[in-house]
Structure 1
Amino acid sequence: MFVILVYDVNQKRVAKVLKKCRQYLHWVQNSVLEGEISEANYKKLKMDIEKIIRQDEDSVIFYTLRTTKYSSREIVGLQKSSNENIL
C-alpha cells in the first residue's frame, strides 16, 4: 500500500516522530512523509508512533492508497527532498 503521513506534534517530540517515520517512509517536506509500506510495517509504524506521541496534544494522519495508479504528484515551488528514493 502507499501511505502519506502528516504529523503535527509538540516540538519536544518532532525529532523522535520524524526519526521513526523515516525508518518506513520517505521524507517529502516538513511534517510530511510518503511511500510504499507493507501491511505489517504499517501496523508496526502506527504502534510505534502511538508510543511516542501524546494523544491529548499531538496529531498524526495516515492517508492510505491501495495503488498510485490514478494519483499524480505536482510540486509548485521549492522541492524539499530528492525523489531518488521514490519508486
Structure 2
Amino acid sequence: MNRIKKICRKYLIHLQKSVFEGAVTEGQYHKLIGELRSIIDDKLDFVVVYTLPDGNKLNRTILTDTPDPADNLL
C-alpha cells in the first residue's frame, strides 16, 4: 500500500487513507496507470480509478482482478 501511495502522491492530492484526487494531463494519466500496474498485485490489491473525461460522465476502471466489493450495491 505504501508503494501505491507514493506513486499516487506524485500526481494527485492525498485526501484521506487511500483516496487521491487531482487533475492530470493525458500523458500523466498514462504514466500513473503504468506505474501502478507495475507494482500492484492483481490477486490481492483492489485499485479503482475514476475519470471524468468530459467533465460530466464518470468512468470507473478497476485495475486488478479482485472481486468488486461494490457489485452488490443497487
Choose between structure 1 and 2 for higher RCO, CA contacts under 8 A separated by at least 6 residues.
1
- Structure 2: 5+ residue stretches without partners: 57-74
Displaced runs of 4 or more, over 4 A: none
| Deviation by residue 1:20-40 (Cα, 9 ceiling, x = unmatched) | 000000000010000000111
What stretches of structure 1 of length at least 5 have no aligned partner? 1-13, 69-87
- The alignment's TM-score, normalised by the length of structure 2, stands at 0.70
For these two proteins, the number of residue pairs brought into alignment is: 55
Q: Deviations over 1:23-67 (max 9, x none)?
A: 000000010000000111101100100111111111110110132
Corresponding residue number in structure 2 for 1:31: 18
Residue 50 of structure 1 is matched in structure 2 by 37
Higher strand share: 1
Length-normalised TM-score, structure 1: 0.60
